[in-house]
């Protein structure tokens, strides 16, 4: 992977500097990853104000807070893939002593249960957090404030309980499960429960003074699945690269694709933020970035991925009053995509057109509209001639003779059936049951 140009690196550094200065962040670290490799990273300011000349680096730990939720969601999906639970299971199927019934795992993953945001007891006031037993008792005391799936409502309580679901189904503590299933396979040795040196010190910078105040380091106990992890830019780069290009040892690509499918719109005003299964879907312009933000006292973080280009943005800051980490991480990604786009792959010719596909090539019509059927790399594709340029073609996979399944693109999952006459010539096709013919016809005219 070619390094970014000097001008791009200066521009990315300026993005960090502008945020660090305008928001008075003691220390900020940013990184961009492309195709699994860090192509730029830099620290600005100080990891700890006791040493103003030591900026955070790729191995400096930060509390990543709610980015922890993406790992909890991955564990749930792994257990689902193994058949140990279903996303449509209700909570009482795992937590038998729950008093809130009918809430599904899918609703929990996408923040549409209607449950209150935090555990009972004003935990962010008292800074006292529940253990696993207290968490379930508190869940039973908690209020369901909205109808399920009526609207998006973020809930640390719900994700904490998802950690309990993981523990009960998998038979080991949430973090032990995480290490075995995700962290160890990906080599993420610096992602831990709580901070381990070297790590930053978290600060709050008062609005009318420039002398930072130390923020406490909290042990959030059974809320760890919602926000208890610490990590480094190096490890988060690995996690972002995995979300961009999954490996089957952890989760299949199809499962990660499923996690990135929108379940609910969180931003009803501008439709810039939706929620998948454990992942934020943040839209800026024509691009959708998936990831999550995190915030703990004195430590604010963001990890986002533009999956089509496998480009990852990471931002880590040691200040409570930091800028929006989603905006900063995405700005890093977008600057690289806009000013240093990856070189496109060289076109390579195909080697063979399968005999059974030769009669399908060319222009067809359905509902009066022209569709081009082509073969690329030995696979059948279809694209409506009027389709917007950003829309990918439909790609088909053979099921049996003259029967194909739409694997991706328009009409994903639907069948394409080919009808031949006695001489073996194709006379028509039916795609998602709609008639496809060589000439355009009105509805019923073919009959």
Closest CA to 223 of 194, 264, 181, 261: 194
Determine the pLDDT at residue 2. 62
Residues of the chain with CATH 2.40.128.50: 355-436
Structure tokens at 125: 């006031």
Q: What is the pLDDT of residue 445?
A: 85
With 60 as the cut, is the pLDDT of residue 209 above it?
yes
- In sequence order, the β-bridge partners of residue 224 are none
Model pLDDT for residues 394-439, shown as the tens digit of each residue:
999 999 999 999 999 999 999 999 999 999 999 999 999 999 999 9
- What pLDDT sits at residue 444? 84
On whether the CB atoms of residues 108 and 162 are closer than 8 A, the answer is yes
Q: Give the mean pLDDT of 375-381.
A: 95
| CA distance linking residue 182 with residue 174, whole number of Å | 12
Q: Provide the total of helices (H) and of strands (E) in the chain, helices listed first.
A: 12, 21
Q: Which residues are bridge partners to 291 per DSSP?
A: 280, 304
DSSP 315: E
Boundaries of CATH 3.40.710.10 in the chain?
6-339
Bridge-partner residues for 372, per DSSP? 363, 383
Is residue 139 within 8 A of residue 157, CB to CB? The reply is yes
pLDDT digits (tens, 9 = 90+) for 222-270: 999 999 999 999 999 999 999 999 999 999 999 999 999 999 999 999 9
Q: What is the pLDDT of residue 332?
A: 98
Nearest partner of 371 among 421, 406, 403, judged by Cα? 406
Fold of 355-436: Lipocalin (2.40.128)
Q: Which CATH class is domain 6-339?
A: alpha beta
Token couple for 344: 């496109």
**Percent of the chain predicted with pLDDT > 90:** 96
Q: What is the pLDDT of residue 447?
A: 75
């Amino acid at each position: 992977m070619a390094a970014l140009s000097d001008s791009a690196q200066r521009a990315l550094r300026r993005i960090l500097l502008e945020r660090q200065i305008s928001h008075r962040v003691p220390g900020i670290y940013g990184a961009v990853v492309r195709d699994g490799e860090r192509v730029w990273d830099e620290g600005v300011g100080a990891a700890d104000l006791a040493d103003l000349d030591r900026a955070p680096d790729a191995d400096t730990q930060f509390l990543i807070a709610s980015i922890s939720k993406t790992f909890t969601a991955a564990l749930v999906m792994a257990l689902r893939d193994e058949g140990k639970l279903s996303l449509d299971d209700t909570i009482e199927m795992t937590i038998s002593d729950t008093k809130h019934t009918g809430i599904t795992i899918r609703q929990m993953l996408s923040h549409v249960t209607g449950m209150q945001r935090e555990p009972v007891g004003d935990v962010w006031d008292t800074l006292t957090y529940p253990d696993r037993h207290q968490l379930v008792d508190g869940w039973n005391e908690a209020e369901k404030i909205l109808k399920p799936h009526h609207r998006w409502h973020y809930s640390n309580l719900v994700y904490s309980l998802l950690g309990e679901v993981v523990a009960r189904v998998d038979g080991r503590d949430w973090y032990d499960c995480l290490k075995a299933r995700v962290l160890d396979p990906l080599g993420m040795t610096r992602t831990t429960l709580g901070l381990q040196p070297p790590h930053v010190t978290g600060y709050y910078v008062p609005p009318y003074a420039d002398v930072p105040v130390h923020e406490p380091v909290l042990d959030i106990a059974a809320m760890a699945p919602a926000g208890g992890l610490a990590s480094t830019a190096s490890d988060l780069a690995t996690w972002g690269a995995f979300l961009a290009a999954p490996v089957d040892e952890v989760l299949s690509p199809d499962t990660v694709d499923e996690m990135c499918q929108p379940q609910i719109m969180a931003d009803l005003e501008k439709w810039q933020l939706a929620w998948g299964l454990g992942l934020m879907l943040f839209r800026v312009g024509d691009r959708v970035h998936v990831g999550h933000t995190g915030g703990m006292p004195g430590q604010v973080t963001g990890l986002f991925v533009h999956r089509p280009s496998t480009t990852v943005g990471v931002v880590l800051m040691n200040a409570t009053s930091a800028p929006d980490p989603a905006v900063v991480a995405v700005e890093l990604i977008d600057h690289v995509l806009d000013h240093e786009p990856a070189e496109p792959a060289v076109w390579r010719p195909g080697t063979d057109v399968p005999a059974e596909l030769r009669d399908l090539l060319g222009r067809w019509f359905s509902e009066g509209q022209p569709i081009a059927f082509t073969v690329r790399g030995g696979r059948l594709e279809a694209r409506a001639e009027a389709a917007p340029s950003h829309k990918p073609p439909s790609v088909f996979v053979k099921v049996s003779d003259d029967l194909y399944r739409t694997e991706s693109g328009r009409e994903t999952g639907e069948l394409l059936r080919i009808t031949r006459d006695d001489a073996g010539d194709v006379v028509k096709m039916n795609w998602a049951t709609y008639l496809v013919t060589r000439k355009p016809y009105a509805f019923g005219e073919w009959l």
